[in-house]
Amino acid sequence: MANVPLFLFGNGLSIALSPVFSLKSITQNFLHNLEGEERAFLIEICGGENEISFDDFEANFSKIEDAYNSVVKYNQFIKSEVGEVFIKRFNLTDPCLESHQKIIKSIYNKYIFQILGLIIGNVKKSAIQEKLGDFTAFIRKELLDADKGFVFTLNYDLLAETIMLDEIGTDNFTDFCSSTSVFKGTEIPKFDFDPALNNHKYGDDYTDKTIELHHLHGSLSLFYDFDRNKAIKFRCDDIFRYDVYNTIEKEDWTLYPAIITGGGKSLKMNEYPFEYYFRVLKDLSTYGRYTKLYIVGYSFRDDHINELIKRWITSVQDYSLGMLIVDYKPDKGSQEEFKKDVRKALKLQKVIPDACFAFDGVNSIFQKSGTEPKVV
């Protein structure tokens, strides 16, 4: 039987590194530090002080994204030839929303900068070794011993990249980004997201890169370049060395972080470049092309991800031999509640066996024997 493990990382992996990565902690700190006009805007966008969620900022962030996208599209229309004709023809007044756009964008940037601050303080090789040492050693062995290996991460906080670089090595995995000189007007090396070029370079005859890293919800190192209509990536170290996010804002670069957060995730999965990552996982799951599924720190709250997990479960001979759901639940009550939530999310006819769960945290992960695809 082939040995093809697939790892799916959720936010619980980041929390295992540091509790500051919990969405509640991030939310409370962010809202506490937001002041003046920006705080007033956020309150209005969210529908009032009582509607702001202090437990999960993604509910707020969804509204920020919707407001920003609406203002940008409106401004683009108003400034277009058609928009100018429209204003003159119907004697309308331009509301001049550029300042509003800047304020909403500033709120968005402050949230991103807060995540970057957490990364600088916590996503370090020494901290990962101390807190996640057994887990990363397990990943290294599983992936390097595999016939083919996959890592799909729902996190955009650079933890997955750091683990892969330190444990697997850049020569052993691909993230589908190829070196293409430097970003315009700078000396920052850039890497174009280009799966077709990647497949040309690392096809079936190229055996060194049998491991793939996929960012289902994007990454803070991945950007959409409006000028070139391409997604590009910078090295993690270069993002901090060149203060990329602050420079984007100050010099008005045509880059936008390629991440998915907030609401409407299932719809955004159809957008570039996320649709590529999602399509790969969909194909792998539909046809049972991996023999083991390690789900680490995932809450099972994303329907589009749950559907693909279910597809894999129904496409293999005995999923219980290949699936392990790893989380940290110290007491029996929380363990039973989590199992209940997972079973409800996946909607399987038969109950998922207890042997598919491990509740002692990410370092308690253990090897599954694996399964095979059903004969079609």
- Dump pLDDT digits (tens) for 69-110: 788 888 888 888 998 888 888 888 878 788 888 888 888 788
In a domain, 360, yes or no: yes
29 and 131 both lie in a single domain: no
Mean pLDDT of 309-320: 97
Q: Burial-class residue 355 by CB neighbours within 10 Å (0-12, 13-18, 19+).
A: exposed
- How many domains, the chain? 2
Read off the pLDDT band of 120 (50, 70, 90).
Answer: confident
Domain boundary pick from 122, 155, 174: 122
In a domain, 181, yes or no: yes
230 and 254 both lie in a single domain: yes
216 and 248 both lie in a single domain: yes
208 and 315 both lie in a single domain: yes
pLDDT for the residue 205: 44
Domain boundary pick from 71, 99, 122: 122
In a domain, 370, yes or no: no
59 and 151 both lie in a single domain: no
326 and 189 both lie in a single domain: yes
27 and 47 both lie in a single domain: yes
In a domain, 158, yes or no: yes
Alpha-carbon separation of residue 361 from 58, 227, 289, 323 (angstroms) = 24, 44, 27, 16
- DSSP calls for 233-298: E--HHHHHHTTHHHHHHHHT-SEEEEE--SS-HHHHTTSTTHHHHHHHHHHHHHTT--SEEEEES-
Alpha-carbon separation of residue 301 from 3, 130, 211, 298, 305 (angstroms) = 29, 29, 27, 8, 8
Q: Which domain holds residue 268?
A: 5-20+125-364
Cα–Cα distance, 304 to 117 (Å, whole number): 30
Task: Give 363-374 pLDDT, tens digit per residue.
Answer: 999 999 999 999
In a domain, 371, yes or no: no
In a domain, 132, yes or no: yes
Name which of 15-19, 178-182, 259-263 the model is least confident about: 259-263
Closest residue by Cα to residue 66 from 46, 95, 36, 92: 46
278 HSE (CA, 13 A, CB side): 20
134 and 56 both lie in a single domain: no
Mean pLDDT of 17-30: 84
pLDDT for the residue 146: 96
155 and 97 both lie in a single domain: no
159 and 173 both lie in a single domain: yes
The pTM of this model reads 0.87
Cα–Cα distance, 128 to 219 (Å, whole number): 18
List the 218-225 sheet strands across, edge first: 177-182, 189-193, 230-233, 218-225, 255-259
In the predicted structure, residue 206 carries a pLDDT above the cut 60: no
10 and 44 both lie in a single domain: no
Read off the pLDDT band of 267 (50, 70, 90).
Answer: low
**Number of neighbouring beta carbons within 10 Å of residue 80:** 11
Mean pLDDT of 251-257: 83
Mean pLDDT of 319-342: 96
346 and 251 both lie in a single domain: yes
Cα–Cα distance, 265 to 323 (Å, whole number): 25
Task: Give 121-146 pLDDT, tens digit per residue.
Answer: 889 889 999 999 999 999 999 999 99
Domain boundary pick from 122, 142, 157: 122
In a domain, 170, yes or no: yes
In a domain, 369, yes or no: no
**Residues present in the chain in total:** 376
Alpha-carbon separation of residue 90 from 81, 84, 85, 96, 97 (angstroms) = 14, 10, 9, 17, 19
